[in-house]
């Protein structure tokens, strides 16, 4: 086994691998999500206008984040399958070239984002006062897109080689730095200027710069990258093709929740800034509470990728079975907990009575659809890991764009915020059940690993 491969996931207990790959990701993703949660908490202390403004940025920053999640998923998928096929040198080449690919993509997306700030946020209903606050956050964020995106791909590379602990530690370090710096810059403590939303952006950027450096050092020391590949660019076009074939559909798919979130924000803005603030807080909070399922979907990817590359379909199916079963159990338990404590949770996030009312309403309605809605995460990870992102992309497109957008418009016209939240839950129920039945039937029948070289 290559020194670059931390663990061979094609042998040994599947449940043990799932636990080992998932548990470090639980606190790692909690640390990552804490960036948004910390920002929301501190900014909520500035006032409802500031909280509503940062809530408008969430779908957009999530969309940018999702694009680079696509690059991370692509890198992990290609590398893990090459590891399963025992192709170490090709793995190093792709991992090394992925750094340059992400740099180029970061520059393009950052510049495009700067040009579109006003039209995008005007389109989703931000007022002139909110737009000025939004700019103070988004401009520095977009200028530093590479440092926000690089840790995503670096950590995905480490996980593909079976190392789940290091990415979790890197994200935890970044989260601690972010939590310490942000209140200083937001409120102007210890003699620093009071920067409010701009301070939140700068704190996030600084923390991610540290994470970028840590990722690069560890990847190099682990033998996962060789900077000679970046210098000579041998087979760079081949590496780019492999990455983009997965990154583009995954990245585009990652934009769908952002598009849907922007539509919902637009509809809620017609109700009032309190509804927008509540929806933004709900999104951050529920993602934090469901972090273990996000960790599971990420942790299962390298297991599936390595075994798919090694032609071990039975182990792939066993991994999916354990992951889906756990997802259903966890989702039901979490939904009951959130719904029962909806009002106390709402009091944590806002002192505004209207914000609390809308937030409590969301937490009572939507979580009851988690047990079916969350199944799509596991299946999406499965198809991305085996190099078939077009399958999960199609299903998520149908859910988020074809069904959810008309549903929330209908819900809004019938019952306002209540109708929107009911529409989200209904689509989760219908698509989750249909997706699972279709995907399980196809795995091993329509989609099978093909014994052919990747290069």
pLDDT of 353-376, one tens digit each? 888 888 988 988 998 888 888 887
Query: pLDDT tens-digit profile of 92-102?
Result: 899 899 989 99
Question: Does position 449 have pLDDT exceeding 80, yes or no?
Answer: no
- State yes or no: pLDDT of 290 exceeds 50: yes
DSSP per residue over 195-235, as a string?
-THHHHHHHHHHHHHHHHHHHHHHHHHTTS--HHHHHH-TT
Q: Could you give the count of Cα atoms lying within 13 Å of 4 in the half-sphere of its Cβ?
A: 24
Q: Cα torsion for 11, 14, 20, 22, to the nearest 10°? A: 130
**Three-state SS for 46?**
coil
Q: What does the pLDDT read at residue 143?
A: 94
CA distances from 18 to 61, 228, 383, 406 (A): 29, 34, 17, 37
Q: What is the pLDDT of residues 261-281, one digit of tens each?
A: 889 988 988 888 888 888 888
What is the predicted pLDDT for the residue at 1?
45
Residue 5, pLDDT > 60, answer no
User: Is pLDDT larger for residue 1 or for residue 410?
Assistant: 410
Per-residue pLDDT for 124 more than 80?
A: no
State what percent of residues in the chain have pLDDT above 70. 95
pLDDT in tens, 413-440: 999 889 999 999 999 989 888 888 888 7
Averaged over 127-135, what is the pLDDT? 90
Start-to-end CA distance of the chain, whole Å, equals 21
| pTM, rounded to two decimals | 0.74
What pLDDT digit, counting tens, does each position of 74-89 carry?
Answer: 898 899 888 888 888 8
- SS3 assignment, position 420: helix
Q: What percent of the chain has pLDDT over 90?
A: 24
Which of these ranges, 43-47, 229-233, 246-250, 420-424, has the smallest mean pLDDT? 229-233
Give pLDDT, residue 425.
92
Q: Quickly state the pLDDT bin for 451 (edges 50, 70, 90).
A: very low
Show the tokens assigned to 402. Answer: 């074809």
**Lowest pLDDT segment from 59-63, 305-309, 328-332:** 59-63
Mean pLDDT of the chain: 85
């Amino acid at each position: 086994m290559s020194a670059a491969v931390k663990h061979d996931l094609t042998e040994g207990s599947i449940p043990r691998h799932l636990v080992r790959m998932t548990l470090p990701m639980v606190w790692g993703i909690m640390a990552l999500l804490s960036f948004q949660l910390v920002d929301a908490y501190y900014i909520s202390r500035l006032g409802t206008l500031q909280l509503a403004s940062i809530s408008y940025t969430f779908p957009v920053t999530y969309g940018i984040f999702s694009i680079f999640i696509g690059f991370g998923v692509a890198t992990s998928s290609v590398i893990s399958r090459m590891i399963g096929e025992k192709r170490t040198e090709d793995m190093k080449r792709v991992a090394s070239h992925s750094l340059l690919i992400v740099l180029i993509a970061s520059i393009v997306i950052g510049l495009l984002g700067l040009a579109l700030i006003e039209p995008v946020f005007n389109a989703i209903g931000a007022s002139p006062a909110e737009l000025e606050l939004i700019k103070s956050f988004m401009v520095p964020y977009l200028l530093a897109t590479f440092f926000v995106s690089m840790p995503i791909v670096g950590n995905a590379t480490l996980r593909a080689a079976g190392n789940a602990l290091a990415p979790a530690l890197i994200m935890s370090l970044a989260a601690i730095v972010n939590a310490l710096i942000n209140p200083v810059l937001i409120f102007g403590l210890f003699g620093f200027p009071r920067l409010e939303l701009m301070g939140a952006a700068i704190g996030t950027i600084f923390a991610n710069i540290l994470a970028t450096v840590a990722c690069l050092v560890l990847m190099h020391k682990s033998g996962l990258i060789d900077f000679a590949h970046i210098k000579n660019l041998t087979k760079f076009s081949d590496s780019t093709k492999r990455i983009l074939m997965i990154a583009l559909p995954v990245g585009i798919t990652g934009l769908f929740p952002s598009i849907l979130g922007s539509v919902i924000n637009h509809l809620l803005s017609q109700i009032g800034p309190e509804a927008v603030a509540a929806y933004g807080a709900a999104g951050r909070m529920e993602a934090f509470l469901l972090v273990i399922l996000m960790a599971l979907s990420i942790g299962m990817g390298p297991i599936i990728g390595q075994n798919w590359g090694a032609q071990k379909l039975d182990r792939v199916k066993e991994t999916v079975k354990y992951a889906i079963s756990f997802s259903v159990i966890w989702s039901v338990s979490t939904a009951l907990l959130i719904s029962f404590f909806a009002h106390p949770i709402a009091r944590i996030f806002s002192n505004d009575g209207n914000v609390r009312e809308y937030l409590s309403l969301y937490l009572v309605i939507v979580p009851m659809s988690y047990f079916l809605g969350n199944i799509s995460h596991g299946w999406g990870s499965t198809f991305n890991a085996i190099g078939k992102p077009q399958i999960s992309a199609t299903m998520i497109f149908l859910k988020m764009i074809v069904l959810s957008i008309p549903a929330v418009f209908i819900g809004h016209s019938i019952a306002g915020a209540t109708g929107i939240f009911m529409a989200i839950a209904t689509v989760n129920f219908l698509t989750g059940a249909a997706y699972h039945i279709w995907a399980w039937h196809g795995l091993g029948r329509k989609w099978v690993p093909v014994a052919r070289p990747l290069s």
